[in-house]
Chains A and B, each alone.
Chain A
Amino acid sequence: NAGVTQTPKFRVLKTGQSMTLLCAQDMNHEYMYWYRQDPGMGLRLIHYSVGEGTTAKGKVPDGYNVSRLKKQNFLLGLESAAPSQTSVYFCASRQSSSYNSPLHFGNGTRLTVT
């Protein structure tokens, strides 16, 4: 029972390079999210999806793009990485839109941009 799986776990990029972070969930959840966690700041929402084929911006979307072509997968792309995007990225999913439907998180991807 994997839950939410993120790949890769670690990555180092040079400024200007691109990459895609993959999130996969096996719980048949409709809602998926990408957060970033930085020292001294709480988790901040980058983008989210309320179903296959849909995406929406969160609080800090600049510099990122996302796609949800399949219900179980949510991809986060960085087209031209910047040092400010050095962070730990967490993907999450949840069952429903109800406020009391908790988030299920993956184990994170630690990204360093030099």
Chain B
Amino acid sequence: DQQVKQNSPSLSVQEGRISILNCDYTNSMFDYFLWYKKYPAEGPTFLISISSIKDKNEDGRFTVFLNKSAKHLSLHIVPSQPGDSAVYFCAASPLNFGNEKLTFGTGTRLTIIP
């Protein structure tokens, strides 16, 4: 059963515009959420995270929004740049456990069009 869902396998966005990647989860025990970015032939790299006590976390061009009641989070990239073209994985875990309980989504391939 897929507890973390990324329903859009791919997304194309014009350079300079906003990219919005979405993630839904079903497990109400999840309290900590992360986004990882993956380039071809490389491993995923940590991008940004948010805990359930917040509804927004910003890091430069990247902002993650969390709506706990809807069990939904989104990653906003503004402005989008060609180097942002990658696969983005959403992940979630309970707060009181380590990464052993981390559950990943299936990923969204983002393509930035110059």
Residues of A within 8 A of B (CB): 4, 31, 33, 40-45, 48, 56, 58, 90, 92, 94, 97-108
Partner of A107, one of B36, B42, B105: B42
Q: Interface on chain A toward B: helix, strand, loop, or mixed SS?
A: loop
Q: Which residues of A contact B93 (CB under 8 A)?
A: 99
Query: Would you call B100 and A42 a contact (CB within 8 A)?
Result: no
Asked if B13 is an interface residue, CB under 8 A from chain A, the answer is no
Query: B7 → chain A, closest Cβ, in Å?
Result: 12
Query: Would you call A90 and B44 a contact (CB within 8 A)?
Result: yes
Instruction: Give the total of B residues in contact with A, Cβ under 8 Å.
Output: 28
With A31-B98, A92-B43, A106-B43 as given contacts, are A100 and B103 in contact (CB-CB < 8 Å)?
A: no
Query: Would you call B99 and A94 a contact (CB within 8 A)?
Result: yes
Partner of A31, one of B32, B96, B99, B106: B99
27 A-B pairs with C-beta separation under 8 A: A31-B99, A33-B99, A41-B106, A42-B104, A42-B107, A43-B44, A43-B89, A43-B91, A44-B104, A45-B102, A56-B100, A90-B43, A92-B43, A97-B98, A99-B93, A99-B95, A99-B96, A99-B99, A100-B49, A100-B51, A102-B34, A102-B49, A103-B36, A103-B102, A107-B41, A107-B43, A108-B41
Partner of A99, one of B36, B97, B103: B97
Instruction: Give A38's nearest chain B residue, CB to CB.
Output: B106
Q: Which residues of A contact B42 (CB under 8 A)?
A: 107-108
Question: Digit string of B26-70 for contact with A (CB within 8 Å is 1, else 0)?
Answer: 000000101010000111111001010000000000000000000
Asked if B4 is an interface residue, CB under 8 A from chain A, the answer is yes
With A42-B4, A42-B89, A99-B93 as given contacts, are A108 and B98 in contact (CB-CB < 8 Å)?
A: no
Query: Would you call A42 and B103 a contact (CB within 8 A)?
Result: yes
Q: Which residues of A contact B51 (CB under 8 A)?
A: 100
Q: Which residues of B contact A4 (CB under 8 A)?
A: 43
Instruction: Give B48's nearest chain A residue, CB to CB.
Output: A102
Q: Which residues of B contact A107 (CB under 8 A)?
A: 41-43
Please, how many angstroms separate the alpha-carbon atoms of A28 and B46 in the complex?
A: 18
Question: Digit string of B8-27 for contact with A (CB within 8 Å is 1, else 0)?
Answer: 00000000000000000000
